Amino acid sequence: MNAITVNNIVKKYGTKKEEVKALDDISFDVKQGELFGIIGPDGAGKTSLFRILTTLLLADSGTATVDGLDVIKDFKQIRNRVGYMPGKFSLYQDLSVEENLEFFATIFNTSIEENYNLIKEIYIQIEPFKKRRAGKLSGGMKQKLALCCALIHKPSVLFLDEPTTGVDAVSRKEFWDMLESLKQQGITILVSTPYMDEAALCNRVALIQSGKIMIIDTPNNIVSAFKGQLWAVRSASMYRLLNDLKNYSNTLSCNSFGEFHHLLLKHNDVGEKDILDFLHQQQHTNIELKKTQPNIEDCFMQLMD
């Protein structure tokens, strides 16, 4: 049995005149024990999807199940057993770390001691501050605490809606390390994030944009499915290089990717020499040109077109 199934979910907002389709016929499955990522920018529909799966929102059409239970009919049972961490960490700012954890444990008819082994690795990092009010914690600490509160009752499925947004880079990395070890305990985890690089850390991902899923697969397969050969180019003047390449007759697309620009050509028979010739013509210096593997962001952008 799949941990999560989603079938043709549609969710609309707004009046008949100005209707917005937050989710447009979404379907996917998540296997037991999988770490599944929903990757997409703001407005893609991530939060709506999470709210529907945690039974907080009713879809306009379509069905979904969590642990085999229907999100509409069996919502009470689902609410008893999933863990949910909505965006912007819903913690009680004026309660301490300890008090927050105790509260959520009790709400779920358990205690901190009962499932302590599950949260131990994470809790140890914030334990020195256990008497501090949640409002006075840094973003990274809040994130860890919120995760503990969502885990304390040993849920079968964990829903994390943008847990790394607004948090510093170091904490982000640590968070994903924690997710990986949680996965080893057999918990199914559905995570959403706007950061494309985090996709690589999931078992499988769904790339979502404007309410539609563009592809569902393992990160490696998505990268393999990329159409065409990607080139990485750099020169002494990157901005000019970008414009020149965009105007190059052989270019299909050229996008900045930090250190290098990623170049996709129209035809595969155009080779390194042709590109170099063009660049020399445009009087670029310090040219570095090499073939490269695409990353998830490259794939996302190609699929957006």
Partner 1 sequence: MKQFFIFVKKEFFHIFRDRKSLLIIFLIPILQIILFGFALTNEIKNSNIAVLDNSKDETTLSIIQKLNASRYFKVYANLKTQADIETVFKSGKVRMVVVFPPNFKQSLLQSNKAQIQLLADASDPNTATTITQYATNIINDFQQEMNGQSKIPYQVQPQIRMLYNPQLKGAYNFVPGVMTMILILIAAMMTSVAIVREKEINTMEVILVSPLKPILFIVSKAIPYIFLSLVNLLTILIVSVTILDVPINGNIFLLMVESLLFIITSVSLGLLISNFTKTQQEAQMFSLMSLLLPTLLLGGFMFPIESMPWPLQVVSNIVPSKWFYIIVKDVMIKGLGFSQIWKETLVLVGMSLVLLFISFKKFKIRLS
Partner 2 sequence: MNEIVIEAKDLSKLFGDFTAVNKISFQVKKGEIFGFLGANGAGKTTAMRMLCGLSIPSSGNATVAGFDVYRQTEHIKQNIGYMSQKFSLYEDLTVKENIRFYAGIYGMNKVAIKEKMNSLLEQLKMSEEQNNLVKSLPLGWKQKLAFSVAILHEPKIVFLDEPTGGVDPVTRREFWNLIYEAAEKGITIFVTTHYMDEAEYCNRVSIMVDGVIEALDTPSNLKKSFNAASMDDVFLQLARGAKRLAD
- Does residue 88 touch partner 1 according to CB under 8 A? yes
Residue count of the chain, please give it: 305
Instruction: Report the alpha-carbon distance of residue 230 to residue 245 in Å, rounded.
Output: 13
Chain Cα centroid distance, residue 13: 23
Instruction: Report the alpha-carbon distance of residue 150 to residue 84 in Å, rounded.
Output: 6
- Does residue 259 touch partner 2 according to CB under 8 A? yes
Nearer to partner 1, 18 or 259 (CB): 18
Nearer to partner 1, 109 or 285 (CB): 109
Chain Cα centroid distance, residue 145: 20
Find the shortest distance in angstroms from Cβ 131 to partner 2.
14
- Does residue 300 touch partner 2 according to CB under 8 A? yes
- Does residue 91 touch partner 1 according to CB under 8 A? yes
Q: Report the b/e string of 274-293 with b at 16+ CB within 10 A.
A: ebeebbeebebeeeebeebe
Interface segment toward partner 1; rule CB under 8 A; list 31-39, 91-99, 119-127, 274-282: 91-99
**In the set 6, 149, 167, 189, which binds partner 1 (CB under 8 A)?**
149
- Does residue 173 touch partner 2 according to CB under 8 A? yes
Q: How many residues interact with partner 1 (rule CB under 8 A)?
A: 27
**In the set 43, 68, 135, 271, which binds partner 2 (CB under 8 A)?**
43
Find the shortest distance in angstroms from Cβ 120 to partner 1.
22
Q: φ and ψ at 293, to 5 degrees?
A: -85, 140
CB 198 within 8 A of CB 37: yes
Instruction: Report the alpha-carbon distance of residue 227 to residue 172 in Å, rounded.
Output: 31
- Does residue 90 touch partner 1 according to CB under 8 A? yes
Nearer to partner 2, 34 or 162 (CB): 162
- Does residue 247 touch partner 2 according to CB under 8 A? no
Find the shortest distance in angstroms from Cβ 191 to partner 1.
16
Q: How many residues interact with partner 2 (rule CB under 8 A)?
A: 32
**In the set 91, 167, 213, 230, which binds partner 2 (CB under 8 A)?**
167
State the Cα angle at 173 between 180 and 263, rounded to 5°: 105
**In the set 8, 41, 63, 92, which binds partner 1 (CB under 8 A)?**
92
**Residue 225 near which of partner 2, partner 1, none (CB within 5-8 Å, type-dependent):** none
293 to each of 157, 232, 297, how far by Cα in Å? 34, 9, 11
Could you write out the DSSP letters of every residue in 91-157?
--TTSBHHHHHHHHHHHTT--TTTTHHHHHHHHHHHGGGTTSBGGGS-HHHHHHHHHHHHHTT--SE
- Does residue 292 touch partner 2 according to CB under 8 A? no
Residue numbers 194-233 binding partner 2 by CB under 8 A: 194, 196, 209
Residue numbers 23-52 binding partner 1 by CB under 8 A: 51
**In the set 1, 15, 239, 269, which binds partner 2 (CB under 8 A)?**
239
- Does residue 142 touch partner 1 according to CB under 8 A? no
CB 295 within 8 A of CB 197: yes
Residues whose CB falls within 8 Å of the CB of residue 110, separated by 6 or more in sequence, listed in order: 152, 153, 154
